[in-house]
């Protein structure tokens, strides 16, 4: 862990997000278009930052959740960038009005919510970065094609009327997908560092709040739209804390968590083996033993019966009996022994 770094939300984080929000509030009083551009650019930078962290660690990254989200957020951020540039008043995409940025918004949120839902189920599965990249590139290309060329993407905003039914229903569907991704995260919570898990859950919760806020506005400059973008800003700040900051400062809590888990499991296994070996007492070296009575002398100079000595210095226990030779010496002339011996001979 980096010196001075704490895996918890600090008061400095609250001050940071508070200053960002205060600054954006100030810009909104001057120009709502400026507020929108800055708040969206923040989330776009975070999305691209997630991709950069994952991409530059892809050769030794064994966390498929991060691999998947890293590629996904590159294309989510790309669609959000077009959404920002197409926003009403920017003057870049002429002739589209407020419908184009709203379509881009819905497309990006569908991609984000579905990606967050799928990602937790990829632990332990093999995925190829190249195939994943190609898949997202194809989906993003189809989205742009359906909006700019084929004109088959459903309208999301109609001037003078506001949001379409498709847009409103989509926001609720996206909220349900996000709720499902939270459930999937909880199901796989053991795969995450507790701090990262809490940040991801909080981020998704706030994203749901943003989606619900975006179901009410009539004007793209309205209060509901303003609140929704604030929620999105906070959500991406939490994602930044969970993935980018943790990934750079504590990579073994995120990017290489599986390596750290295996390292911990190996240590526990080693400790168990060490404990088992410690419980195994072995007799080694020269043991002074009497050549007549076979007693053994211990370290203190006392003579012990051989079975007493061995029981004391090992986990072995003795059950006494007589070998055939000793039985013959002790009882060879006894009548009962001779009869028993003859009987055993007949039975053979």
SS3 69: helix
Query: In angstroms, rounded to a whole number, what is the distance separating the alpha carbons of residues 107 and 197?
Result: 26
> Residue 274 domain-assigned?
no
Q: How remote is the C-alpha of 69 from its chain's centroid?
A: 12
Cα angle for residues 60, 64, 69 (degrees, 5° grid): 110
Q: Is the pLDDT of residue 44 over 80?
A: yes
The verdict on 261 and 307 lying in the same domain is no
Please check the confidence at residue 67 and state whether its pLDDT lies above 80. Answer: yes
Q: Are residues 172 and 315 in the same domain?
A: no
Residue 38 in this model has a pLDDT that exceeds 60: yes
CB 188 within 8 A of CB 176: no
Q: Decide if 123 is inside a domain.
A: yes
Mean pLDDT over each residue of the chain, to the nearest integer: 84
Identify whether residues 196 and 49 lie together within a single domain. yes
Q: Tell me, what's the pLDDT at 329?
A: 77
Report d(CA 33, CA 52) in Å as an integer. 28
Range of the domain at 62: 11-266
Asked whether 88 and 101 are in contact (CB, 8 A), the reply is yes
d(CA 54, CA 75): 14
Same domain? For 228 and 324 the reply is: no
Q: Are residues 242 and 302 in the same domain?
A: no
Residue 290: inside a domain = no
Task: Report the pLDDT averaged over residues 104-122.
Answer: 96
Is residue 191 a part of any domain in this protein? yes
The whole-number pLDDT of residue 60 equals: 75
The pLDDT of residue 308 is above 70: yes
Closest CA to 42 of 87, 88, 80: 80
Final residue in a domain of this structure, among 247, 266, 285: 266
Model confidence at 337: pLDDT above 80: no
């Amino acid at each position: 862990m980096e010196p001075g770094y704490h895996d918890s939300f600090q008061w400095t984080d609250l001050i940071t997000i508070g200053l960002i929000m205060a600054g954006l509030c100030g810009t909104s009083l001057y120009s709502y278009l400026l507020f929108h551009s800055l708040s969206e650019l923040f989330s776009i930078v975070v999305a691209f930052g997630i991709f950069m962290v994952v991409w530059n660690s892809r050769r030794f990254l064994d966390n498929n959740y991060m691999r998947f989200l890293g590629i996904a957020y590159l294309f989510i951020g790309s669609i959000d960038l077009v959404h920002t540039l197409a926003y009403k008043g920017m003057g870049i995409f002429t002739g589209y009005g407020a419908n184009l940025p709203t379509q881009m918004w819905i497309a990006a949120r569908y991609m984000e919510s579905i990606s967050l839902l799928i990602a937790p189920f990829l632990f332990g599965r093999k995925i190829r970065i190249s195939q994943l990249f190609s898949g997202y590139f194809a989906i993003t290309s189809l989205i742009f094609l359906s909006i700019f060329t084929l004109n088959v993407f459903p309208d999301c905003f109609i001037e003078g009327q506001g949001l379409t039914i498709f847009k409103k229903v989509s926001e609720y569907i996206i909220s349900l997908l996000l709720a499902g991704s939270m459930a999937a995260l909880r199901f796989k919570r053991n795969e995450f560092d507790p701090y990262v898990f809490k940040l991801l859950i909080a981020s998704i919760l706030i994203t749901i709040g943003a989606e619900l806020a975006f179901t009410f506005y009539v004007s793209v400059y309205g209060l509901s739209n303003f609140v929704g973008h604030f929620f999105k800003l906070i959500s991406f700040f939490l994602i930044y804390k969970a993935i980018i900051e943790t990934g750079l400062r504590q990579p073994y809590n995120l990017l290489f968590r599986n390596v750290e888990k295996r390292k911990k499991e190996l240590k526990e296994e080693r400790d168990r083996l060490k404990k088992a070996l410690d419980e195994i007492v072995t007799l080694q070296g020269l043991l002074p033993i009497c050549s007549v009575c076979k007693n053994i002398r211990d370290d203190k100079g006392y003579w012990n019966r051989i079975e007493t000595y061995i029981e004391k210095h090992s986990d072995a226990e003795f059950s006494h009996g007589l070998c055939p030779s000793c039985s013959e010496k002790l009882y060879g002339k006894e009548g009962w022994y001779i009869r028993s011996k003859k009987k055993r001979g007949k039975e053979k």
